[in-house]
Amino acid sequence: MTVSTDQSRLDEIQETRVEPRPTQNPAAALPEKGFRHPRRSPFFLLLLAFLTVAAFALRVRGTHNDLWLDELISLRIAQRVKMSWQVFTAVHNDNNHYLNTLYLYLLGEDENAPALRFFSVLCGVSLVGAGYWLLANRSRLEALILSALLAFSYPLIHISSEARGYAGALLGSVLACAALERWLTGKKPSFLLGLVYGVASVFAILSHLTSCLVLLPLSVASLLIVINRPQRVRWIALWITLHLLPGCVFAALYFFDLRFIVPMGADPMSIAHGLSRLLALGIGWPREDALTVWIPLLPMIGLVVWQLAVEHKSGSTLPTLIAPIYLVPLVAVVLVRPQFFSPRYLLVILPFLYVYIAILLARLTSSGIGRLALATLLTLFLAGQAFRYRTFLQVGRGQFRAALEYLSDQAIGSEISLSSNQDFRSAVELRYYAPRVLKDRHLLFYVSADDRRFVKPEWYLIHEEGSDSPGPAFLAQSGRPLWGRVAYFGASELSGQAWTLYRRLPN
């Protein structure tokens, strides 16, 4: 009787399960249990592979258009340096995006536009996988949605199909954030993840300095996290070690190059207007103004803030890292008054906006109505991006060859006399395209602003941003028309230039 009783108690003890105490981890804030730490499945990898191939195809197709002003300046820089190390020490030009210029230098005399832009294409395609890696530890569904947003986003397609450094900055920033988040949440500091963070940060800095808009908030946020941990001194020492490589590289760049740079300038625009246009392009908003986009943005921002608060209370590290990145444009709107601005200067923040949009969209899968809403929202997103992408394929970053071919066909005689409202931009573009388009058919004679008092050119050219409408029907001087508008060659928004072409009217 005693043995039987003891055996039954032993069986009860063995059947009793001791629930482990909850730990703080990045996935703790996910209320939907069905998608937390899902089992590995080839289905997700197949979808990621499809998104990667689609991203590659869209970006490669976007490389087949004319090189625009800033690309031509970068190409000219690369062709003038004699040694590779001069890219980092001898240029002192804000259009010198180091890794992109180095790539152009290594290409040598190859001026084929798709080849010149292939480094950016590779960075843009790799961004899709980097985004997946950022959220894969939390939820593969969230990671897949983020990869889809990154693959089909028109601003990211546009910027990763041109020969500049923004695509590398985007890739390096997302990789740095992913590695840093995993480094902070691991059981112990990983040397490999620390190395990935340092290399990714350096890659971002050498690609484009706008990456500092992400890297600096990440550094500050991670410091605040480690300060509040046990063994504070040890963690601070590890944090300093983690940032040694990017810190030393930035210091070297400042010593050899940054302190000598004089900005070239651009058209005036407020940061608030530029931010609104960037967000409109990012979510596929069809209107061209800077105000109506806030109709969907305000509730979206409210939901993002709510999700950040929920995850922060649960002890997740990700919101602590990303929330300061969201504050950067707001601080810039309030405190910074630049002489010139472009929406692409804040582009590096866009992937991190997609992070919490993806997290919110993944929450919709918990019910049938939610899944229908998810499909609807993704369809609207893709439709908006497709509309922008279609326009991009039609006009590219400018139609400079087509404009010069028009001049060649319409000109009378063997000489074309041309002036414009932008002497510097015209000199760069015409020096490159005129010999390739006009060849021996016509001699292009450019009249600068100082010489227009003595020479009356037959043609006049107005340079505008791709988002601007055509110039006025007539350009008047001394109260009477001097030139009449004859053609307009548009460009897509974000980067590129539109040309409005005028012809001198008879007296």
Q: What are the helix (H) ranges across 270-367?
A: 271-283, 294-313, 318-335, 350-363
The pTM for the full model equals 0.89
Looking only at the bridges linking them, the beta strands covering 459-465 and 474-477 are: unpaired
pLDDT of residue 84: 93
The set of residues, in sequence order, having a beta carbon less than 8 Å from that of 56 and lying 6+ positions away, is: 121, 125
CA of 164: how far to CAs of 159, 278, 469, in Å? 8, 18, 25
pLDDT of residue 478: 66
pLDDT of residue 373: 95
Amino acid making up residue 2 = T
Which residues are bridge partners to 445 per DSSP? 417
CA distance linking residue 166 with residue 344, whole number of Å = 8
Q: Decide: helix, strand or coil at residue 62.
A: coil
pLDDT of residue 480: 64
The two tokens of residue 192 are 């490999």
All structural domains of the chain: 26-395 (no CATH), 400-504 (3.40.190)
CA distance linking residue 350 with residue 297, whole number of Å = 13
Q: How many CB atoms lie within 10 A of CB 446?
A: 19
Which residue ranges of the chain lie beneath pLDDT 70? 1-40, 265-267, 477-480, 507
156, 283 Cβ separation under 8 angstroms: no
300, 357 Cβ separation under 8 angstroms: yes
The set of residues, in sequence order, having a beta carbon less than 8 Å from that of 477 and lying 6+ positions away, is: none
Q: How many CB atoms lie within 10 A of CB 265?
A: 10
